[in-house]
Structure 1
Amino acid sequence: MSNREAATAQAEILTKAGHITYFAGGCVRDKLLGLKPKDFDLATSATPKDVLKLFPGSNQVGAHFGVVITKYAGHHIEIATFRTDGSYADGRRPDSVTFSTPEEDAHRRDFTINGLFEHPETGEIIDHVNGLADIRDRVLRAIGTPSHRFQEDALRLLRAVRFATTLDFPIETSTLTALRENSHLLHKISPERIRDEFSKIITSRNRRRGIELLVDTGLIQHVIPEVIALIGCEQPPEWHPEGDVYTHTCIMLEMLEDDASLELCLATLLHDIAKPPTQTFDEESNRIRFNGHDTLGAEMTEEILSRLKYPNAVIRDAAHMVSRHMQFMNVQQMRKARLKRFMSVPTFEQEMELHRVDCASSNGFTDNYVFLHEKAEEFAAEPLIPPAWISGKDLIQCGLTPGPGFKEILDEIQTEQLEGRITSREEALAYLKKLL
């Protein structure tokens, strides 16, 4: 049974019990846009008490707000009672709710495209907010007075940018004006909720527009304020004819593949985040320089993503990519052992994509990218880092005491192995004896 079938079955049970019940929100919107809905939520005249009576054992966590989570045929279905909201003292959740009618419920929602209902059996669309017209015209519009909607729940500020980005909808003028006027309210929202919305924006295929909207509305100040300094940060025109660091970064984001990972998208956005604080002008060469921006950039990336409460694995990979993005210019001069180590890290394929868009958005050089592809084919016959011929146990058997010097010895022998000068354990043991 599909998620829709499970929700339809529950709607039928509610309807037979005498309760008006509709599909609501995102599933209606997505169906009308030709997209595959992820979840099917129900809105009903049944109170939480009624819902719990019909579906014993359901989750009552949201019952205070008229929301019950039921489980049916292995699917979790959100069933919400038609309601109107009281005041929003914390700028996030209503202090109280009053159970109401479908029309009143539609008018308390955020955007017209999310305020539609669908009859589960007939497919009839119930439109109290003129959402059908906005879906037809592909425009994002707040329901009622835009400022009121954003002041009720400041997370809607980011949701507006997210929907405009993922659906590629322009934002209606008064809604956009209200976004700018109320951007400061985002400080009321927790880092975790900001992170979740921002992740959807940055991983969208339309991610460049998402970042530009965040900057244009002032919301970026409450997400990643460090991005603002990229605007107007000049670069050497011979290497970056496209313009300042912000323009360069935006072009890179646009060039990424549609399915780029979250870590790669974050690394692309932040790869030059340290250029403003490291910018100097070398009078002798008459050039702008950004010495050490990769190292400082990795530190800033860790700080920024930690502030947004990203998982440690995401922070680690994104920061690692930022720390190494300047090393690609030296790959053709690397010894075989160092090159193999460079190519063996788990993030290498993503770093290749970062390097590709970094060059394509600026100087257009492809020499290092092509070189690495050729080397990948050349090295493909065996693991980049094969099992070592020598271990610490061998060093102990030779009479050495474990300590920091072990790694230096093992690394040197591994280097000889990677260079192809040691091809067996016997040769490795002979080389070890020579070292000792």
Structure 2
Amino acid sequence: MGLEFLRTKQAGIYSLGNWQPHSVTERAALALAKEMNQYAWDKGWVKANCTAVYFVGGYPRDLMYRQLKGRDFAAKDIDLTTPLRWEQAAEFLESQKITDLTVIEGIESEKKNLVHRVLYPFGPDGKRLEFEITSFRGEKNYRGHHPQEVWPTLDMREDASRRDFTVNALYFDPVRKKIIDFFNGIEAIKENLLDTVGNPRHRFGEDPVRMLRLVRFRARYQMKVAWRAEGEVKNCLSGLEAVSVERIRDEMEKIFLEPRLADSIDYLVKLGLMDWVIRPSILDGMSFGDLDKVQHPPGAPYHKEGSVYRHTLEVLKVLESERLLGYFKRLFSILNRASGGQSSARGSSQTNIAQSMYPELVWAAIMHDTGKAKTQRVEADGRVTFKKHEYVSARQAASLAKYLKMSRREAQGISWMVENHLRIRLFPQMKLSKKTALFDNEYFPHLVMLLFADRLGTLPAEGGYEMIDDFLDSLEGYTEFRQRLERESRYRLPIDGHDVIAAGVPQGPRVGQVLKVLKEKFDDYLDERGRPPEQSTVQKWLEEETAP
């Protein structure tokens, strides 16, 4: 029997008669939908006047934002949903010889949740695009964020009722070019209002990470949050105890990529969510929001922003600023020339910072001054100091990275940036070996960006512009000098590991340690005298380092 699951009394219908697929993803999704529709009609699974495949999730939401708000978007991925049963969808995929990763990889959890992940060949080159096809379903009895009971349904409204926010519960019929809306998502877009589907306590209880998603969508679309959803967050915070820290970390790093980051961090603090990201135990018993109580000296000519917390927000604002983007471009222009125009492992292309290590930079910016709470002292002369706060902050940053189960590389990068965020200011005056030790770290460009943001986030910022220009001039001079050293063999250390071993050092880590010390002495000699040391001088250094 065919289906008639569109009940217009329950749903709003919005016509998009002018819709045309533009991207390859849109064209491929439409082609797949048409094939699946035709197959379902031929089989009699749905009536000829019904649609068997819909675009759901982010695509119809962003499509309506473009239609109603003029906001452009690129369709990176499109999720499909269907009233067909999982077995019917599987039969269609097999008949069309469309690769079904769910079957190939034996993903029982996806089968249980009525999901197919497919590779759909499209275009003259047969490029295979990945899509997710989900059968309409109902869910209940969540454990963590996984429903323990899942069942197929023919009711689109029941399927829509399990989604998080009203703007995400829209369905797009690509054949008839219509948006189907059961929960006033279109009206929410018009009013720029972010609200949950149904009772917010239920939605957040099903998956507490939705509270972080609320912050992310608020930032992306500059939406107001419905008072009932905002008010329910504090009642649901304890649910985050059962959420994996990896999911919390991943959602935070998605927030980092949205606009108005400082406002989002402030909002996370207001809602009480930040304490579930940076646990008070990480900050030696202090809540992140309590950094607002740690005041910089009121009479000092700097840090007019007031508290450590307000300074941190200013730093995050600078990270997004056009002014910093200009310095960013010059920095990477210098680094590109230093590497001969080749992108290095550090990420010397201007886009890599946002795509690879940008989250680490934001984490470092958030944590760079947290140690001031523990190191704040009032000296005998009345001055307020925060001596060696960078080391305490680095320790706390390392604890945060461990708690959030970051990789060892990420953890070391974040704590290294935090520990060196004051030291890097002295780069222009450093000896050559000290400059090289900093420069050779893959996070050096991000440390420099942290320095710039920290300085411009210290109000008033005007004096910081001259400092940044001087720093970049010095860095440019260093990289040009370094290139000269690398071109001419006489500027290279005339001793290698074989010489160290011949001097009596057994093979192992000690060989590298000796070479590092010799290289630092060599570079500092060159830096001070403008010429390399004699071979006999280097040999004497080797004997001193390897003496019993």
Cα deviation for residue 29 of structure 1 reads: 1.0
| Closer, same or farther: CA 64–416 of 1 in aligned 2, 3 Å | same
| Closer, same or farther: CA 156–398 of 1 in aligned 2, 3 Å | closer
Work out which of the residue numbers 385, 399, 417 in structure 2 matches 1:289: 385
Matches within 5 A, 1:91-240: 91-100=144-153, 101-225=155-279, 226=283, 227-237=288-298, 238=300, 239-240=302-303
| Closer, same or farther: CA 393–86 of 1 in aligned 2, 3 Å | closer
Q: Is residue 493–residue 519 contact of structure 2 (8 Å, CA) maintained in 1?
A: no
Check if 1:267 corresponds to 2:299.
no
Q: Deviations over 1:266-317 (max 9, x none)?
A: 11111112111222221x2312222221112112111101211222222222
Work out which of the residue numbers 314, 319, 324 in structure 1 matches 2:420: 324
Work out which of the residue numbers 379, 388, 391 in structure 1 matches 2:495: 391
| Count of matched residue pairs | 431
> Partner of 1:94: helix, strand, or coil?
strand
> Which residue identity is paired with 1:24?
V
Work out which of the residue numbers 239, 247, 264 in structure 1 matches 2:310: 247
User: What is the distance in 2 between the residues matched to 1:296 and 1:265?
Assistant: 18
Q: Deviations over 1:313-349 (max 9, x none)?
A: 2222211110101113434543344335444433222
Gaps of 5+ in 1: none
> Partner of 1:210: helix, strand, or coil?
helix
Q: Deviations over 1:101-123 (max 9, x none)?
A: 11221122110100001111232
> Partner of 2:397: helix, strand, or coil?
helix
Check if 1:55 corresponds to 2:103.
no
Q: Is residue 91–residue 153 contact of structure 1 (8 Å, CA) maintained in 2?
A: yes
| Closer, same or farther: CA 428–91 of 1 in aligned 2, 3 Å | same
Cα deviation for residue 383 of structure 1 reads: 2.8
Q: Is residue 298–residue 322 contact of structure 1 (8 Å, CA) maintained in 2?
A: yes
> Partner of 2:84: helix, strand, or coil?
coil
> Partner of 1:5: helix, strand, or coil?
helix
User: What is the distance in 1 between the residues matched to 2:500 and 2:209?
Assistant: 60
> Which residue identity is paired with 1:240?
H
Cα deviation for residue 265 of structure 1 reads: 0.9
> Partner of 1:196: helix, strand, or coil?
helix
User: What is the distance in 2 between the residues matched to 1:394 and 1:55?
Assistant: 62
Match of 1:13 in 2: 35
Q: Is residue 27–residue 37 contact of structure 1 (8 Å, CA) maintained in 2?
A: yes
> Partner of 1:75: helix, strand, or coil?
strand
> Which residue identity is paired with 1:285?
D
Match of 1:376 in 2: 475
User: What is the distance in 2 between the residues matched to 1:205 and 1:48?
Assistant: 39
User: What is the distance in 1 between the residues matched to 2:534 and 2:259?
Assistant: 50
Q: Deviations over 1:321-378 (max 9, x none)?
A: 1010111343454334433544443322222221112121214332542322111232
Gaps of 5+ in 2: 1-22, 47-51, 66-71, 122-127, 322-352, 544-548
Q: Is residue 25–residue 117 contact of structure 1 (8 Å, CA) maintained in 2?
A: yes
User: What is the distance in 1 between the residues matched to 2:529 and 2:91?
Assistant: 73
Cα deviation for residue 405 of structure 1 reads: 5.2
User: What is the distance in 2 between the residues matched to 1:15 and 1:221?
Assistant: 48
TM-score normalised by the chain length of structure 1:
0.91
User: What is the distance in 2 between the residues matched to 1:353 and 1:396?
Assistant: 38
RMSD over equivalenced CA pairs, Å: 2.3
Match of 2:114 in 1: 66
TM-score normalised by the chain length of structure 2:
0.74
User: What is the distance in 2 between the residues matched to 1:433 and 1:152?
Assistant: 69
Q: Is residue 392–residue 406 contact of structure 1 (8 Å, CA) maintained in 2?
A: yes
| Closer, same or farther: CA 254–400 of 1 in aligned 2, 3 Å | same
- Over the matched positions of the two proteins, sequence identity in percent amounts to 27
Higher mean C-alpha displacement, 242-251 vs 97-106: 97-106
Check if 1:3 corresponds to 2:57.
no
Q: Is residue 331–residue 368 contact of structure 1 (8 Å, CA) maintained in 2?
A: no
Check if 1:413 corresponds to 2:522.
yes
Higher mean C-alpha displacement, 225-234 vs 64-73: 225-234
| Closer, same or farther: CA 407–252 of 1 in aligned 2, 3 Å | closer
Match of 1:432 in 2: 538
> Partner of 1:158: helix, strand, or coil?
helix
Match of 1:279 in 2: 376
